[in-house]
Amino acid sequence: MHPADNPLVSHPQKPGLYQVLKAIVRRAIQPLSESAVALLPIVLVIGFFQLVVLQQPIPNFGRMLWGLFLVLMGLALFMRGLQMALFPIGEEMAYNFVKKGNLWWLLVFAFTLGFGTTVAEPALIAVSEEAARVAAAGQIIDSSPEARSSYAIGLRLTVALAVGVALLIGVFRILKGWPVQYLIIAGYFGVVVMTFFAPPEIVGIAYDSGGVTTSTVTVPLVAALGIGLANTIRGRDPLIDGFGLIAFASLTPMIFVMAYGMII
C-alpha cells in the first residue's frame, strides 16, 4: 500500500476540498447559531406586535427573509472578524506600548483613538445636527444655516474631545490601578452639578450624547486595549482594571456637552 493511500496517516500538507469545506462550515456554525439566537428576540417582538397588536400583515415576506439572512450572515462575519482582528490588535498594541516603556505615547495614543474614532461617528453627526435645530428653536443661536452648521461642528468636536479625554483618564487609571467607581461617581457629581447650570434645552441632548459616542468598531478595540494593558502590567487584574474605559467614554460627553451649552 502506498503511504499516501493509507487512511490512518494524516496528510496535513494536502487537505482535500472536502476537508477545507468541512473546516469552514465547522468554524461558521458557532457564530451563525450565536447570531441566530441574538436575532430571534427582535424578530419575535416585531412579528408579535405587527400580527397580534396592530393586526397587520407582514409586508413583502420574501424580501423580509432575504434581509434577515443578510443580518444573520453579517453578525456571524463580524464575530469572526472580532476574534481575528479587533481583539488581537487591541491587546497586541497594549502589550507593545507597555514593553516600549514610554507611557506618554500610550496616553497620546489613547487620546487620539478616542478623538479620531468619535469625530466621524455617523450617530454623533446626526445627533449634533438635531441639537443645532433645537438650539435654533430655543433661540440660543441664530437660525441661519451657517450658525447652525458651526454649532453642530462645535458640538461634534466637543464630544470627540470628551471621548479623547475619557480614554486618556481611563488608561491613566489602569496604569495607576485606581478603582473605577471613585472616578465614575465623581463624574456623576459633575453631571448633576452641570445639570443645574446648563440651559435646559441642552440637558436632554447632553444625556443622550453619552450613549451614542461608542461605535461598534471602537468598543471591541477599546475593551481589548484595556484588558491587554491590565494583563501586561504587573499587579493589575483584567476584570477589575481592564474594563471601565467605555464607561468613561459614555460619561465625559455629558459634562462636556453641557459645558458647551453654557459657553455658547
d(Cα 104, Cα 249) in Å, to the nearest integer? 20
d(Cα 124, Cα 44) in Å, to the nearest integer? 30
d(Cα 169, Cα 119) in Å, to the nearest integer? 18
Tell me which stretch binds other proteins (CB under 8 A): 3-11, 13-21, 144-152, 205-213: 205-213
Which is closer to other proteins, CB of 123 or CB of 154?
Answer: 123
Which is closer to other proteins, CB of 9 or CB of 192?
Answer: 192
- Report the residue count for the chain: 264
Which is closer to other proteins, CB of 21 or CB of 65?
Answer: 65
Binding-site size for other proteins (CB under 8 A) equals 107
Type of residue found at 48: F
d(Cα 20, Cα 25) in Å, to the nearest integer? 9
d(Cα 223, Cα 13) in Å, to the nearest integer? 37
Cβ atoms within 10 Å of 128's Cβ, excluding its own: 24
Residues 144-173 that bind other proteins (CB under 8 A): none
Which listed residue (161, 165, 229, 245) binds other proteins by CB under 8 A?
Answer: 245
Which listed residue (132, 152, 169, 227) binds other proteins by CB under 8 A?
Answer: 227
The backbone torsions φ and ψ at residue 177, rounded to the nearest 5 degrees and listed phi first, read: 75, 25
241: number of CA atoms within 13 Å, CB side?
A: 19
Rule CB under 8 A: is residue 199 a binding residue for other proteins? no
Which listed residue (32, 168, 224, 229) binds other proteins by CB under 8 A?
Answer: 224
Which is closer to other proteins, CB of 11 or CB of 184?
Answer: 184
Residues 57-116 that bind other proteins (CB under 8 A): 58-59, 63-64, 66-89, 92-93, 96-97, 100, 105, 109, 112-113, 116
Inter-axis angle of helices 180-197 and 145-176, nearest 10:
150
Task: Tell me how far, at minimum, the Cβ of 17 lies from other proteins, in Å.
Answer: 20
Rule CB under 8 A: is residue 38 a binding residue for other proteins? yes
